[in-house]
Structure 1
């Protein structure tokens, strides 16, 4: 409901803005037309002219401009727009609390780790000068070791944006064993993309020579892919009709750049996405719930920051779930080291505390809440996620 109210207010502002812009353009066109007409009248006067002739034309221009009254028209439409903008701002302030100080906890943190996270983020996104400045001011010289590796990554990506695959191919060949170990065929994809580039801009012979030199060693493991590439040689000059036309899609450049970045970061022991950007995105996603919780707890005169577990779920979406999570279907509590998930002999899983309650503190057998089978605490096995 709140979102609909804000969306309606935004739509009204957007509509008024379009009307104001349209009105402004209309008034400007009207003023431009009468001015051009006055200039044309002045230029059309032939022979000797007197100041009175020019004065009469200018007086006529003044009369037409006064009739148009551009200031009044522009002020009227702008006033309506400003009124709606003011109402929109009040609507946002009503539904969104700008004070987020109650929605976070004051926790002790290691400045060294925080500096390392921030510097790594700047290196990851290519802001090397900003990262170097922070290193000098924070006194974190050991972080510089990451700089050279990320600079290499950005050099490879910049070359790929310029349609140059040589740095990427060199990196892939250098890390061939590591790529094969994780089951990646990145090197094949890079050579395939280079072969396609030669086929599109070069000659059939150049593409064939490249395949003999670089694709032949990969044939034992990727014969099907190489056979498709060889089939493309028959369609030179009419590649748009080739049955393997998906190989010529421009999306392959972007996808390969992303895959190379993933593998590069993985070999560095780094995640593909910046931990700082992920943490900020998760915070923005969960902030409305935390603010609402803080306000409700304040009304009840309770301190939510002292709680070990939040009384409400904060749904961040699957993109922020990096570990397996088990929620007990009986107690609706999330599994933890103190309350781990336990598998019953029938295969159903409950948290330990739920099992203890059902068994009256392990003194007797109990019936599974989801099937007719009975079990004892001794028969239950702890699961590890």
Structure 2
């Protein structure tokens, strides 16, 4: 991919620039050291200034600072030229891949404002809403994300009370989602209490909060009970991993994920995902548009592209069925149909093979006789 080649070229430039900088600083330090040594000798009343200067000149000639610097600078220039060539290969005219679509401006504004709010940029989001003249576009979602960030800010200061209160209020919904967030929060609070050296208080906290989770998390609770023997010195215990900051990061991520889930929002910002997927899919799309333009063909009216635009798995949210006979992607007018034998073809392929349901036909993948009237539509 062109974007990857540009990144590699940039990384090489950064590496060469760092080497050039280090080499230049090394040469400068050598020159400074020789000059300082000569100055100290000249300050001595017994030294011959002409002789000292002559010796300094000889030393500087031996160091050959320009020669040393030119080598790394030349390598940097070569890397820069290759980076520029890689940039030239990237077609900046992305308008060729633009397709005329009608967007609901209100929906787009809501998505943008929600992106700012989910990033914690509430003032920026408010400013955008005011500029877009849609003050009611994201009021509800703003208050929800504000609550989430108040909880996360408290957690940064190792204050778990707001998070525990939220998890308790939503414990039933968290259980439905199969999340053990509440236990993880109690886990962190227990360790915080124990780390302060209060064994009795930690034991009291465990008795109060761990009992409801004993059935499914006994081994984890037993491990925490073992920590009681090392109150105030957990870092020296066999359970030192409970102090890892990673434990907090995991809980923060889980809380954010569950909070977004419960308010009907995705964990990742839809705007960020859209842009990231677009950046990944843009290079092959631009190549296809260039070929189409060369053949003077119009792609605006196409229902689907004739070439695949591969995206990573994190950008694949819906199942896609391609008919193994026609090699066409299923649509609302041409849905996938499961035959009585269990194999699946698109509706148009079945109609074609059955002469519009007037006769039975052989499944192309097994010897079963298929009656088109008994085929059932599949929903993904």
**Aligned counterpart, 1:117:** 111
- Residue 169 to residue 369, structure 1, CA distance change in 2 (3 Å): same
Q: Secondary structure at the match of 2:345?
A: strand
TM-score norm. by structure 2 comes to: 0.88
For CA contacts below 8 A with separation 6 or more, give which structure has more relative contact order: 2
Is the Cα contact below 8 Å between 2:195 and 2:233 reproduced in 1? no
Instruction: Please give the TM-score of this superposition, normalised by the length of structure 1.
Output: 0.87
Match of 1:338 in 2: 333
- 1:130 corresponds to which of 124, 136, 141: 124
C-alpha change, 1:57 and 1:279, in structure 2 (3 Å) is: same
Return the alpha-carbon distance in structure 1 between the equivalents of residues 272 and 7 of structure 2. Answer: 27
Q: Deviations over 1:197-243 (max 9, x none)?
A: 22233222121111133334555665554344334324546756867
Corresponding position: 1:198 with 2:193: yes
Partner of 2:272: 277
Pick which of 223-232 and 366-375 moved more. Answer: 223-232
Find the aligned partners of 1:241 and 1:77 in 2 and give their Cα distance.
48
Counterparts of 1:303-382 in structure 2 under 5 Å?
Answer: 303-382=298-377
Please list the CA deviations of residues 111-157 of structure 1 after superposition, one character each: whole Å capped at 9, or x if unmatched: 21111111111111111221121112111211233222212211211
CA distance in structure 2 between the aligned counterparts of 1:184 and 1:80, rounded to whole angstroms: 54
What SS does the corresponding residue of 1:81 show, helix, strand or coil?
A: helix
* Separation in structure 1 between the aligned mates of residue 258 and residue 15 of structure 2, nearest angstrom: 47
Structure 2 residue aligned with 1:102, among 93, 96, 107?
A: 96
- The farther-off stretch of 216-225 and 358-367 is 216-225
Aligned to 2:204: 209
d(CA) in 1 for partners of 2:139, 2:53? 71
- Check conservation: 2:196, 2:232, Cα contact below 8 A: no
In structure 1, C-alpha distance between the alignment counterparts of 2:179 and 2:82, rounded to whole Å: 55
Relative distance call for 1:322 and 1:87 in structure 2 (3 A) is closer
In structure 1, C-alpha distance between the alignment counterparts of 2:245 and 2:68, rounded to whole Å: 50
- What CA deviation, in whole Å up to 9, does each residue of 1:276-312 have, x standing for no partner? 0000011011101110110110111111222111001
User: Structure 1 pair 146/21, CA: closer, same or farther in 2 (3 Å)?
Assistant: same
1:144 aligns with 2:139: yes
Separation in structure 2 between the aligned mates of residue 133 and residue 168 of structure 1, nearest angstrom: 29
Over the aligned positions, Cα root-mean-square deviation in angstroms equals: 3.1
Could you say if the C-alpha distance between residues 182 and 80 of structure 1 is closer, same or farther in structure 2, counting changes exceeding 3 Å? closer
Q: CA deviation at 1:165?
A: 1.2
Shift of 1:353: 1.2
